Amino acid sequence: MSVWTIVVAGGGGTRFGGAKQFASLAGASVLDRSVATALRCTDHVVVALPVELIDGAKPWKPPAASVVTVAGGATRSESVRAGLAAVGDDAEIVVVHDAARPLASPLLYAAVIDAVRSGADAAVPGLAVSDTVKRVEHDVVVATVPRDGLVTVQTPQAFRAAVLRSAHDSDGDETDDAALVEQAGGKVVVVAGETRNLKITVPGDLEMAAMLLEAP
């Protein structure tokens, strides 16, 4: 039984101003850095790419023979389902990781995988919310939300392969795969996330990631 990773890299990067997964970060692309860590931590990697990079004249070249590329979909969930279709039947655990988080560490991969092996249906990295959270409607505060028990969630997220496949059978569309498993009644646990595991969303995030890579 093996562990596979699906790296989701099919987005257009609207807020970034372009395909952020191909932006250069300290001498390598954001995507290449995310794929390299996935290769180090799991047995096989599937990368869901924008369709034009599958059929186009200049496709992205996988760094290893164990990396499979598929055309992503119009939404994140569709891209994950495209990746799942390429995951082998021998998969025991499937990890889903956003290419836009290039600084996720091998220790974080190990933590979510170990949590699933210990009995969870899914495991996600989370960070406790430290700021005050307010609910706003039309620029007016309507409530202050108690932050006890709230976490912000990152990737990589690990899943029992059968559980993830079953959750996606509904063709649901969520911002992360754990939400689909939750809706199906699965047990999702939280492991400690990493503050340096930031998501590249705007150009300033790329600059911050470069600074973190340079830090001792």
Burial 13-45, CB ≥16 within 10 A → b, else e: beebeebbbbbebeeebbbbbbbebbbebbbbb
- Nearest Cα residue to 5 out of 147, 194, 164: 164
Q: Which domains does the chain have, with CATH numbers?
A: 2-214 (3.90.550.10)
Question: CA torsion 162→11→193→171, rounded to 10°?
Answer: -30
- Nearest Cα residue to 93 out of 33, 43, 167: 43
Quote the tokens at residue 160: 């029992």
User: In this predicted structure, what is the pLDDT of residue 194?
Assistant: 97
User: Quick check: 147 and 133 in contact, CB under 8 A?
Assistant: yes
Helix (H) or strand (E) holding 141: strand 140-145
The pTM (predicted TM-score) of the whole model is 0.92
User: In this predicted structure, what is the pLDDT of residue 210?
Assistant: 92
User: In this predicted structure, what is the pLDDT of residue 56?
Assistant: 56
Strand partners, 135: 143
Return per-residue pLDDT of the chain as tens, 216 residues: 799 999 999 776 666 656 778 888 988 889 999 999 999 999 999 999 987 776 655 567 777 777 899 998 889 999 999 999 999 999 999 999 999 999 999 999 999 999 999 999 999 999 999 999 999 999 999 999 998 889 999 999 999 999 999 999 988 888 899 999 999 999 999 999 999 999 998 889 999 999 998 877
